[in-house]
Structure 1
Amino acid sequence: MPGRKIASWNTMISGYGKSGDVGSATILFSQMTSRDFIMRTTMIACYLQNKRLKEAIGVFKEMIETPGVSPDEVTMSSVLSACAHLGSLEMGSKIHNYLKQNRFDINVYIGSALVDMYAKCGSVTRSLLVFFKLREKNLFCWNSIIEGLAVHRYGEQALDMFKKMENEKIKPNGVTFISVLGVCTHAGLVEVARKWFLSMTHDYNISPVIEHYGCMVDILSRAGQLEEALELIRRMTIEPNSVIWGASLGGCKLHGNLEIVQVSMEKLMNLEPDNNEYYVLLGNMYAEADRWSEVKKVR
């Protein structure tokens, strides 16, 4: 196949991938009689862009089994990311072994991908081993290990890792604080959550997104700080969704607050008018409080 034609087809595959036309990209790729490293890497990128993760790994397997065609660090990082999102620890471990056998330099990019893959696949110990061996660690790497510890309920260790990150002068971003606030929510650390939420906005100038607000409303509501949670919702710079009002509702149910529950319920009914569970819950709360005249008003 002439070089110019190869380059043209490669460009077309990339274009199909970016436009979401994976079918046309796959057909074109299958028609190529000679597939070099660049073509396979482009096809892997096409599949990854369109969440076709198993297909991306399939092309990678074909690549390493083809004599004279070898992946580079970009390809390896991309395929490790696919394993992470699939939760495929077995495949991720095989790729790690391939890296060792082929003497890849475990630099910050491949290293970060390995940390993330092991953390997302549930192997926190191996994630930590890779993390501590890295000569250089970027923000993605720190976020991956903090999130991995947080998700697998190593809350204290996640907060310790966050402190180490700060000591290393690595500036956190919004993703970091989602993990930190999530740890506080699961552990009921109300004061710690307040501290980091304020630090996020005041010290790091990070605007809260719905996930940050969700953590704060949840932890305040669970702790019975329902008025503070409601005030936070009213001060939100973005429109609260059903998750936010649902967290408030959960706190009201837990602590039997019939005043704020009416506010939360009204918002939830507007957002999800066909969800009859809200009406049943409200009716039950009124009944438990012996407010039977209110029960009759609930649809």
Structure 2
Amino acid sequence: MPKLPNISVHCHIWRNGFDSHVFVQTALIDFYSNFGKVGRSRRVFDEMPDRYVYAWTMIVSANVRTRELSFARGFFEEMPERNTTTWNTIIDGYAKMGSFDSAELLFNQMSVREIISWTTMITCYSQHQKFREALAIFNEKISNGIHPNKLTMATIILACAHLGALDLGKEIHLYILHNGFDVDVYIGSSLIDMYAKCGSLDRSLSVFFKLWEKNLFCWNSVIDELAVHGYADEALKMFRGMEKERIKPNGITFISVLSAYTHAGLVEEGRRMFLSMIDDYSILPKVGYYGCMVDLLSKEGVLKDALELIISMKVEPNNIIWGALLRGCKLHKNLEIVEVTVKELMALEPNNSDHYNLLVNMYAEVNRWGEVGKIQAAMKNIVVEKKCPGSSWIEMERKIHQFAASDKSHLASSEIYILLAKLGGQLKLAGYVPELIWRDLA
């Protein structure tokens, strides 16, 4: 928040007799709120002999800006006349604070909703991971004959990406083309990301190559998605193409490139890129960059180097860093380093039993039953934390279905589990399903 200037603007206004001028007072309300002095804004407002609608809007906005929503709502309720700007301001304030019920209640009370009103609610839901609600508002908007703007389209494409709603994403893309939207870097990058996340990499690349202008976000999106889908060579070629176009990479770019090296198992190339990021582009490595390198080294069995890298880190390693090394130890059966790793993870996550169980299994494999007994005894004294079940979405006939691990709340759950059991039986007969998986299905 900027500091108030040394010269008192308000004092000069008062000395020159402008303190009762309604437009000057309104400007003072905005002036003080910009410097975080919303209390002074309220005093100026209270002293105004005449208040027109813009002054009311300004005092509501001032309190929303400083997140004092109780005051903002009070002024809003007192307004003799409300315009759509004030409605949008208070709704946006509640939305940004995560107060969805209040935001939605006010939205539903609006007699006239303009494009900003609809976009505010859609953005609100999307920013708080409520993508199905965002799609519902979008569909209602279209059915009410409200034409979306560029921001609305980019936001709703984002919702489709997170839900994996490919068919709906295609329809929105078609809507964009038929309604004269310019597929610029803003909408284009959203489409690239949406198609890739929905598994349609060909469409994602098609959008990318058709763009007349490609910004850093477009390049980052396509490099990342190629790496995620296992096309490491193509991701690295795209990175080199980005360099030829003189687009300067940022930290997100290097996360994707290092991920591509991990998928390809290119250790030395990954090391060189990591150093180039620091030396040539002056990007100081954070936890995420170290995580990519530790993951690369661990997967390729260079476990001692991975441990040395963690020890040399300029930032404190977290459970993700140690977890990457742990997976490498498990993969390459390195009991020496896994002991160090689990010790660190036990300190970071004392109630996570997965680390204990992994160490028990590795000790059991080499018949070190004494250590097995000690760990099992220690596990009796810990309170095992409950984990949030994983969830996923699937789109069928333009309807989004959500599923969570071990959840039977879906209307068709009985039929789903019966089908899974049948599939499990067939896979077991074919020799593809381990006994443990078959037991879970049954």
- What is the TM-score of this pair, normalised by structure 1? 0.91
2:176 is the alignment partner of 1:99: yes
Q: Which residue of 1 aligns with 2:329?
A: 252
Q: Which residue of 2 aligns with 1:144?
A: 221
Unaligned runs of 5+ in 1: none
CA distance in 1, matches of 2:298, 2:370: 27
2:113 is the alignment partner of 1:35: yes
2:206 is the alignment partner of 1:129: yes
Q: Which residue of the other structure, out of 282, 286, 296, is the alignment partner of 1:205?
A: 282
Point out the structure with max Rg over C-alpha. 2
CA distance in 1, matches of 2:287, 2:309: 12
Deviates more, 1:153-162 or 1:287-296: 287-296
Q: Which residue of the other structure, out of 256, 279, 284, is the alignment partner of 1:179?
A: 256
Q: Which residue of 1 aligns with 2:101?
A: 23
CA distance in 2, matches of 1:163, 1:119: 20
The letter for the 2-side match of 1:94 is E
Deviation at 1:210, TM superposition (A): 2.4
Q: Which residue of 1 aligns with 2:187?
A: 110
2:139 is the alignment partner of 1:61: yes
Could you say if the C-alpha distance between residues 206 and 297 of structure 1 is closer, same or farther in structure 2, counting changes exceeding 3 Å?
Answer: same
CA distance in 2, matches of 1:17, 1:289: 56
The letter for the 2-side match of 1:220 is L
Deviation at 1:93, TM superposition (A): 0.8
CA distance in 1, matches of 2:352, 2:180: 57
Question: In the alignment, is the contact (CA less than 8 A) between 1:22 and 1:50 conserved in 2?
Answer: no
What secondary structure, in the 3-state scheme, does the structure 2 residue paired with 1:227 have? Answer: helix
Question: In the alignment, is the contact (CA less than 8 A) between 1:17 and 1:49 conserved in 2?
Answer: no
Q: Which residue of 2 aligns with 1:120?
A: 197
Could you say if the C-alpha distance between residues 103 and 290 of structure 1 is closer, same or farther in structure 2, counting changes exceeding 3 Å?
Answer: same
What secondary structure, in the 3-state scheme, does the structure 2 residue paired with 1:207 have? Answer: coil
CA distance in 1, matches of 2:208, 2:226: 12
Q: Which residue of the other structure, out of 285, 306, 314, is the alignment partner of 1:237?
A: 314
Could you say if the C-alpha distance between residues 39 and 289 of structure 1 is closer, same or farther in structure 2, counting changes exceeding 3 Å?
Answer: closer
CA distance in 2, matches of 1:244, 1:106: 39
The letter for the 2-side match of 1:44 is I
Q: Which residue of 1 aligns with 2:3?
A: none
2:92 is the alignment partner of 1:14: yes
What secondary structure, in the 3-state scheme, does the structure 1 residue paired with 2:83 have? Answer: helix
Q: Which residue of the other structure, out of 36, 51, 73, is the alignment partner of 2:129?
A: 51
Tell me: higher relative CO, structure 1 or 2? Use CA pairs within 8 A at least 6 residues apart.
1
**Post-superposition CA distance 1:221-258 (Å, at most 9, x none):** 23232221111001112221222222223333344433
CA distance in 2, matches of 1:3, 1:275: 56
Deviation at 1:66, TM superposition (A): 2.7
What is the total number of aligned residue pairs between the two structures?
297
Could you say if the C-alpha distance between residues 3 and 189 of structure 1 is closer, same or farther in structure 2, counting changes exceeding 3 Å?
Answer: farther
Deviation at 1:109, TM superposition (A): 0.9
Could you say if the C-alpha distance between residues 169 and 287 of structure 1 is closer, same or farther in structure 2, counting changes exceeding 3 Å?
Answer: same
Deviation at 1:95, TM superposition (A): 0.7
Q: Which residue of 1 aligns with 2:415?
A: none
Question: In the alignment, is the contact (CA less than 8 A) between 2:84 and 2:114 conserved in 1?
Answer: no
**Post-superposition CA distance 1:35-91 (Å, at most 9, x none):** 122221222222223222222222222222333x31111211111111112221111
Deviation at 1:163, TM superposition (A): 0.9
Could you say if the C-alpha distance between residues 134 and 289 of structure 1 is closer, same or farther in structure 2, counting changes exceeding 3 Å?
Answer: same
Superposition CA RMSD, Å: 2.1
Unaligned runs of 5+ in 2: 1-79, 377-442
What secondary structure, in the 3-state scheme, does the structure 2 residue paired with 1:20 have? Answer: coil
Question: In the alignment, is the contact (CA less than 8 A) between 1:286 and 1:294 conserved in 2?
Answer: yes
Could you say if the C-alpha distance between residues 11 and 279 of structure 1 is closer, same or farther in structure 2, counting changes exceeding 3 Å?
Answer: closer
What secondary structure, in the 3-state scheme, does the structure 2 residue paired with 1:171 have? Answer: coil
CA distance in 1, matches of 2:161, 2:138: 15
The letter for the 2-side match of 1:62 is E
Deviation at 1:3, TM superposition (A): 8.2
CA distance in 2, matches of 1:126, 1:263: 45
Deviates more, 1:244-253 or 1:19-28: 244-253
* Identical counterparts, % of pairs: 58
